[in-house]
Chain A
Amino acid sequence: MSFEFDSGILSVLGPSGCGKTTLLRCIAGLEIPDEGSIHIADKAQTSISKGIFVTPYSRAIVFVVQNYALWPHMTVHHNVAFGLKLQKLAADEIRRRVQSTLELVGLRDYEGRYPSQLSGGQQQRVALARSIVMEPRLILLDEPLSNLDAKLREEMRVELRKLIKQVGISAVYVTHDQEEAFVISDTVVVMDRGKILQYAPPDEIYNNPANQFVASFIGRAAVVDGTLLRVEGEDCFVQVREFNNATLMCQKPKNAISGQDCKVVIRTAEVKLDSGRLNDKGNVLEGLMLSREYRGGLTDHRILVGSKEIVVTSHKLCPMIHIEDGRERIYLYIEKSAISVIAEPRPSTPRLAEF
């Protein structure tokens, strides 16, 4: 695999065990790849063919790991000052920078505490402060939020993005949570089994997944097989066998050829439900309500469309469907923007990425 990235925040998104962490470790110089090379600002950091290896301590890249790796025998101040001391900076310069960084992460009053005396969120911010105080060229973050509870995680991801933008350093952010990746980053790399599947901004990944894996990995979607019947301008019509051969109008994928087999990805969160047949020009599918799962603000509806069971999530405020469970008829209204068509076989050549 190979990719370049300029500045801003890049997320590496993929299921666990797909090589995200190894990628970060290679960038940091903690791992030596079998082959290939890593360049920063056109200077080789690791190059197996040229025999170049810049040590992790001289790369000026910092690494924030999942469990923060705060040194337990040092106070917050000493943790943050560690790298600066190794640079042999003047004592008051160190103090000034440590204090302003702790100010930035809102831990000014915790300087004398030991990591074990801090909460998970605070430890996370110390780890971040320890890294940004170094003014690195690049900051690598390996699932930094996954040890926090759900509520804190949602708060921290916004804060994290704000902080990184404020400091103005580039970051590579590894996560398996697509929502987190979308919130935090400017660009997303989707990885699986050591390969890059797509390299694009979040909205493009969401609206235009490069393949079935990306489509099903990012958020709730129903993926079904289809046949491309015909192309009309920017639109195309796809027949889906599993939906009783219903025809859906969708946006035309690139390189679409009539008669071609394709995958149809329906983002179920964007599907509108109603118990009555409305006069709508868009796609309408008829289904049977199997069951409903109440999730508080949201409700999951299990609906059988043709021979395919799909789960549609609706918001509480959506028009309530006055239907009893148990095989009642229901209509699904699907905008063409909620559908992506992935033509097969399609050479995956996403922008900027090659593999």
Chain B
Amino acid sequence: MAKDIAAEAAVNWRWVKLIYKQGTLIPLFASIIAGSLIIAPVLIVLSRSLTTARLGTFVGLTGENYVRVFTDPKLLPMLWNSLIYAAGSATIGTVLGGLLAWILARTNTPGKALVELMPLYPILMPPIMKNIAWILLLAPKAGILNNLLIEYFGVQGPVFNAFSMAAMIWVFGLACVPLGYLFLLPVFLSFDPSLEESAYIAGSKPIHTALRITFPLAIPAFLSALVLNFLRGLRSFETPVLQGSPAGIQVFVSRVYDAMSVDYNPGLGTAYSTVLVALSILVLLFYTRITRFSERYATITGKGYRVKAIDIGKWKYVTFLVVFSYFLVGIVIPFLVLIVVSLIPYYDFETFMKFPANMVLTNFYRVMRHPSFVTGLYNSLTLSVTIAVITVLMGIVMAFTMYRTRTYGTKIFEFIGTLPLAFPPLVLSLGLVIVFLGTPLYNTLWALGLGLFVAYFPYALRNASGSIVNIHRELDEAAWVHGARWRHVFFKITLPILKPSVAGAFFYIFIEAIRNIDVAVLLSAPGHEYGPVTLFEYFRVGQWAEAAAGGVIYLLILIVAVSVAKFVFQVKLSL
């Protein structure tokens, strides 16, 4: 018996030694830290939802919060609102995005180059700016469009209402267009032309061919984009809070936000969050099923086809109209409105119409003297650079551990790395608020930084895994046998080869973080403001012109960041 135990101990020791000698201990350790940072808020949200105790105390488990959630008479309308909002905007966005992709890739529409910059558009226009611009345009009393209609066309009363479900779907639907476009463009570009040619030979007209052959074959990609946009709708924060809540239209995210900011009831907030998370996970599972299905659609091959633009005859004027209206409504008008409003002394319709005679820079002057905006701007700049660097590096370290060392539990890391995707950013930050409450980290930039790290880590990990898998393992092994230890392999081989994709991920996370609201809104605090949240607050208290000016400042920062990424680092940025 004693002998058996001794033998077993020797075996365990041997594996420890093997792992250590393969040099996986340090990356493994780092990955475990990153993993626990991510899993902690998630677990906290779940456990918190099961107690009614005040934060910082613990009384015991109870289902009371869930009873409250499920007996809430507003629950069904809220679920209905969430679904209508997400489904409506996903449909508008994906259909329009797909249509634009087809027009660009396959038709001889004049002026189609107008949509070629599509991938850059969502980068330059943060979600909150879209909401600000469209509220300025569509607000029932003060909105530019309503006033124009009343004043010049003699319409009685306001036509549009920015604070309605229709307006919410419209604004977020426009925000969904780029994703639909980006998912479907490669499909139309890599399409096997012989499939269409055989339809022509069979006597089908171009436009019929498009409807009967081309579009049906694009269905899998279309579904993927649709479901992903739906998920984004469920997670979205700015539109429901800025346009829904004022009119009493509640969705899950805005209800969670109200539970924290109005009722200050974390237990209830977390219970609503859990329901929302369950819904998101369902959608995510559905998404993975669809993508697996679309891989079986073997019409799109790796062959480099040269797709021909089709002459669609007189239809090209219709498609031109589509392209031009999208360009105008989706891109030019919101930008113009924001810039004009930031340059007038204060916002109302009369003042707006006097532009450019009354052009002033007082709004910029005012926001730049406002301490909370200046601190917020500074914090958002420094924090997003820092977080982008750390997140990207940690993503690479974890991907390196998963795919390049002999670690066990790769699947667990993968799971942890994708877990935050199921959690709307607001829910994650709610979890972190609860984690940090009562610790010295509460109400500090550290907490905020951690929140951003958790929110963007999945992206960094996916990006790094994708690139590391594409690097031949032999390159690492050649370094091993030439005397390199893991740190040499990591710093001298992996990292330099990954440089382009590292730069891409860095800029992506920087750009996402610097304009983040839904993670920062619960984690920023007086004295530790975050720029975009400050803008959000301005807007909520009616300082529209200041909000616009602050927005334009962010716009300038984003233009600089995108140009540096594009021209200095040759990064291809999209979404």
State the A residues within 8 Å of B (CB).
28-30, 32, 48, 51, 53-59, 61-63, 65, 67, 69-73, 82-83, 86-87, 130-131, 134
Of the listed stretches B239-247, B384-392, B475-483, name the one at the interface; the rest are far from the partner chain: B475-483
State which of B22, B482, B485 has its C-beta within 8 Å of the C-beta of A83.
B482
Assuming A67-B472, A130-B482, what are 6 further A-B pairs, CB within 8 angstroms? A30-B481, A57-B484, A82-B484, A82-B492, A87-B483, A130-B478
State which of B22, B475, B488, B499 has its C-beta within 8 Å of the C-beta of A86.
B488
Chain B residues contacting A83 (CB-CB under 8 Å) are 482-484
Q: Is B151 interfacial (CB 8 A cutoff)?
A: no
Report yes or no: B474 in contact with A56, Cβ–Cβ below 8 A.
no
Q: List 10 A-B contacts (CB under 8 A).
A: A30-B481, A48-B14, A53-B17, A62-B481, A63-B477, A70-B478, A71-B493, A71-B497, A82-B479, A86-B484
Report yes or no: A32 in contact with B18, Cβ–Cβ below 8 A.
yes
Those of B480-504 within 8 Å (CB) of chain A: 480-485, 488, 492-493, 496-497, 499
Q: How far is the CB of B483 from chain A (nearest CB, A)?
A: 4
Chain B residues contacting A51 (CB-CB under 8 Å) are 10, 13-14, 17
**Which 9 residue pairs across A and B have the least CB separation, nearest first?**
A83-B482, A69-B474, A51-B14, A69-B478, A56-B480, A86-B483, A63-B481, A73-B496, A57-B483
| Distance in angstroms between the alpha carbons of A59 and B22 in the assembled complex | 13
Main secondary structure of the interface of A (DSSP, over half): loop
Hey, what's the 0/1 contact readout for B20-63 against A, CB within 8 Å counting as 1?
01110000000000000000000000000000000000000000
Report yes or no: B475 in contact with A71, Cβ–Cβ below 8 A.
yes
Count the B residues whose beta carbon is within 8 Å of the partner chain — how many? 26
Closest-by-CB residue of A relative to B489 is A57
Which residue, of B18, B23, B499, has the highest number of chain A Cβ atoms within 10 A? B18
Report yes or no: A69 in contact with B477, Cβ–Cβ below 8 A.
yes
Report yes or no: A53 in contact with B21, Cβ–Cβ below 8 A.
yes
| Distance in angstroms between the alpha carbons of A29 and B496 in the assembled complex | 25
Closest-by-CB residue of B relative to A82 is B482
| Distance in angstroms between the alpha carbons of A54 and B472 in the assembled complex | 24
Q: How far is the CB of B25 from chain A (nearest CB, A)?
A: 13
The tally of CB-CB contacts under 8 A between chains A and B is 77
Q: How far is the CB of A27 from chain B (nearest CB, A)?
A: 10
Chain B residues contacting A73 (CB-CB under 8 Å) are 496-497, 499
State which of A48, A55, A134 has its C-beta within 8 Å of the C-beta of B23.
A55
| Distance in angstroms between the alpha carbons of A48 and B17 in the assembled complex | 12
| Distance in angstroms between the alpha carbons of A71 and B479 in the assembled complex | 9
Chain A residues contacting B481 (CB-CB under 8 Å) are 28-30, 56-57, 59, 61-63
Chain B residues contacting A130 (CB-CB under 8 Å) are 478, 482
| Distance in angstroms between the alpha carbons of A65 and B478 in the assembled complex | 8
Chain A residues contacting B492 (CB-CB under 8 Å) are 82
| Distance in angstroms between the alpha carbons of A280 and B10 in the assembled complex | 71
State which of B21, B474, B479 has its C-beta within 8 Å of the C-beta of A67.
B474
| Distance in angstroms between the alpha carbons of A69 and B493 in the assembled complex | 11
Q: How far is the CB of B489 from chain A (nearest CB, A)?
A: 9
Q: How far is the CB of B503 from chain A (nearest CB, A)?
A: 14
| Distance in angstroms between the alpha carbons of A30 and B406 in the assembled complex | 10
Chain B residues contacting A28 (CB-CB under 8 Å) are 477, 481
Chain A residues contacting B21 (CB-CB under 8 Å) are 53-55
Q: How far is the CB of A101 from chain B (nearest CB, A)?
A: 13
Chain B residues contacting A30 (CB-CB under 8 Å) are 477, 480-481
| Distance in angstroms between the alpha carbons of A54 and B479 in the assembled complex | 16
Q: How far is the CB of A61 from chain B (nearest CB, A)?
A: 6
Which residue, of A28, A48, A51, has the highest number of chain B Cβ atoms within 10 A? A51
Chain B residues contacting A72 (CB-CB under 8 Å) are 475, 497
| Distance in angstroms between the alpha carbons of A130 and B17 in the assembled complex | 30
Report yes or no: B482 in contact with A65, Cβ–Cβ below 8 A.
no
Chain B residues contacting A86 (CB-CB under 8 Å) are 482-484, 488
Those of B425-442 within 8 Å (CB) of chain A: none
Chain B residues contacting A58 (CB-CB under 8 Å) are 483
Report yes or no: A71 in contact with B478, Cβ–Cβ below 8 A.
yes
| Distance in angstroms between the alpha carbons of A59 and B21 in the assembled complex | 12
| Distance in angstroms between the alpha carbons of A65 and B482 in the assembled complex | 13
| Distance in angstroms between the alpha carbons of A69 and B482 in the assembled complex | 12
Which residue, of B18, B21, B480, B481, has the highest number of chain A Cβ atoms within 10 A? B481
| Distance in angstroms between the alpha carbons of A51 and B10 in the assembled complex | 8
Closest-by-CB residue of A relative to B492 is A82
| Distance in angstroms between the alpha carbons of A206 and B43 in the assembled complex | 68
| Distance in angstroms between the alpha carbons of A82 and B499 in the assembled complex | 19
| Distance in angstroms between the alpha carbons of A54 and B477 in the assembled complex | 15
Closest-by-CB residue of A relative to B13 is A51
Q: How far is the CB of B363 from chain A (nearest CB, A)?
A: 48
Chain B residues contacting A55 (CB-CB under 8 Å) are 21-23, 480, 485
Which residue, of A29, A73, A131, A134, has the highest number of chain B Cβ atoms within 10 A? A73
Report yes or no: A134 in contact with B483, Cβ–Cβ below 8 A.
yes
| Distance in angstroms between the alpha carbons of A243 and B499 in the assembled complex | 67
Q: How far is the CB of B490 from chain A (nearest CB, A)?
A: 13
Chain A residues contacting B493 (CB-CB under 8 Å) are 71
Closest-by-CB residue of A relative to B18 is A53
Closest-by-CB residue of A relative to B476 is A69
Q: How far is the CB of A28 from chain B (nearest CB, A)?
A: 5
| Distance in angstroms between the alpha carbons of A182 and B283 in the assembled complex | 61
Chain B residues contacting A59 (CB-CB under 8 Å) are 481
| Distance in angstroms between the alpha carbons of A123 and B21 in the assembled complex | 31
Closest-by-CB residue of A relative to B485 is A57
Q: How far is the CB of B222 from chain A (nearest CB, A)?
A: 37
Those of B289-342 within 8 Å (CB) of chain A: none
Chain A residues contacting B478 (CB-CB under 8 Å) are 63, 65, 69-71, 130
Hey, what's the 0/1 contact readout for B213-249 against A, CB within 8 Å counting as 1?
0000000000000000000000000000000000000
Closest-by-CB residue of A relative to B14 is A51
Q: How far is the CB of B531 from chain A (nearest CB, A)?
A: 37
Chain B residues contacting A65 (CB-CB under 8 Å) are 474, 477-478
Chain B residues contacting A63 (CB-CB under 8 Å) are 477-478, 481
Hey, what's the 0/1 contact readout for B493-537 against A, CB within 8 Å counting as 1?
100110100000000000000000000000000000000000000
| Distance in angstroms between the alpha carbons of A29 and B23 in the assembled complex | 13
| Distance in angstroms between the alpha carbons of A109 and B13 in the assembled complex | 51
Closest-by-CB residue of A relative to B472 is A69
| Distance in angstroms between the alpha carbons of A59 and B485 in the assembled complex | 12
Chain A residues contacting B477 (CB-CB under 8 Å) are 28, 30, 56, 63, 65, 69
Closest-by-CB residue of A relative to B17 is A51
Chain B residues contacting A32 (CB-CB under 8 Å) are 18
| Distance in angstroms between the alpha carbons of A73 and B471 in the assembled complex | 12
